[in-house]
Structure 1
């Protein structure tokens, strides 16, 4: 794949993966949740610090235990558990709405069927659900036990890829995810998850939204936006 900004795609991503190896070694491994667990966790995590969203998810699990009980509890009870996350009222409604639609269509909450269709079809099925965009859909497929090969692009990953010049500065998460995923056809799910973790850590520690620390960034040589 050829990006529009001088990068060859595949070779540059491999190089960045190698250059960021030290950051992956210090990252706490992500648990492989069930697909429905990964879906709910990702739905409540947007624009929220990881410890806050994880605590909210843990409260939800502790309070209700199963997706069916979350659905039966309803929006207000879900909101009570996840109240610390950003846009909690909207997210509570989306969680209940998504679980309700899954239950109606699948007669349960088993999403293991998403392991077999092409990635584009699996992403499309998830993106029909209330509150589910590309980041949540990709996280459900990649960060769960499904372990499917697609890149999760959150705000940190998108910012880094934009500043590197791999995608346009106005590109959306969907575009960035598709560009990296297409560039790495030989990667498995674990490779994409490792890359997501490494780029996200880079965005949190060095390539911050405000006051980026370009001097210490491991990818500063390649960066089109370095200070």
Structure 2
């Protein structure tokens, strides 16, 4: 078990170094507060980054506070985020989730998640409507909390599968837990940078269909190349 653990750390650390050129132009934006990151993450699934960012900006412009957004009807939210995929169901989930959080946390602040065990924080988020591991990990890692949990989206999971770091049918939760456990000593920001690097690899080279293996920085490491 220890040998596998050490090997996994070595692999991930080596891959991060090989992917460094993909981050050459990266300028990390100031992190959002946890609740703002929750809203952004909930509308991002299966949607281009530019469209989800535009939808998030529209929400911030339309609703002056989280409380006002929480009081909005799903169809009102849907009209604002219409550019994202699956807007009706995302609007419904958001309305229900904010109502639940409001009953538990009238100030709509999720900063308390930074002071509880990671497993407990994940359970709290994942019991909310429409929230699974990708969104939960985004709230905890990409926000001001910067907790050490790895975010796995469609692109990152595809990369990890092709590298055979996780099983071919591993889901988002399994992939996230594998990397989080193996890199338990990495900081939250280091894990975020690894996520961004692997996501960019998936977007630019490791496509679902017709991957551009010859241009991939990890081509000599990848059994699927």
TM-score class, shorter-chain normalisation, is: over 0.9
Partner residue, 1:223: 222
- Output aligned runs, 1:64-213, within 5 Å: 64-213=63-212
- Contact 1:39–1:136 at 8 Å: present in 2 too? yes
Stretch moving more, 159-168 or 29-38: 29-38
- Output aligned runs, 1:17-28, within 5 Å: 17-28=16-27
SS at match of 1:8: helix
Asked if residue 56 in structure 1 is aligned to residue 52 in structure 2, the reply is no
How far is the alpha carbon of 1:24 from its aligned partner?
A: 1.3
Instruction: Provide structure 2 residue ranges, at least 5 long, that are not aligned to the other structure.
Output: none
Q: Hey, what's the Cα distance between the residues in 2 that align with 1:162 and 1:26?
A: 26
Q: Hey, what's the Cα distance between the residues in 1 that align with 2:102 and 2:90?
A: 18
- Contact 1:147–1:190 at 8 Å: present in 2 too? yes
Q: Hey, what's the Cα distance between the residues in 2 that align with 1:206 and 1:3?
A: 31
How far is the alpha carbon of 1:27 from its aligned partner?
A: 3.0
How far is the alpha carbon of 1:30 from its aligned partner?
A: 3.8
How far is the alpha carbon of 1:108 from its aligned partner?
A: 2.1
Taking structure 2 as the reference length, the TM-score comes to 0.96
Q: Hey, what's the Cα distance between the residues in 1 that align with 2:65 and 2:168?
A: 40
How far is the alpha carbon of 1:2 from its aligned partner?
A: 7.0
Taking structure 1 as the reference length, the TM-score comes to 0.95
Instruction: Provide structure 1 residue ranges, at least 5 long, that are not aligned to the other structure.
Output: none
How far is the alpha carbon of 1:86 from its aligned partner?
A: 0.9
Q: Hey, what's the Cα distance between the residues in 2 that align with 1:61 and 1:52?
A: 14
Aligned length: 225
Cα deviation code 1:178-206 (max 9, x no counterpart): 00010012101100100000000000000
Q: Hey, what's the Cα distance between the residues in 2 that align with 1:31 and 1:79?
A: 27
Q: Hey, what's the Cα distance between the residues in 1 that align with 2:2 and 2:152?
A: 19
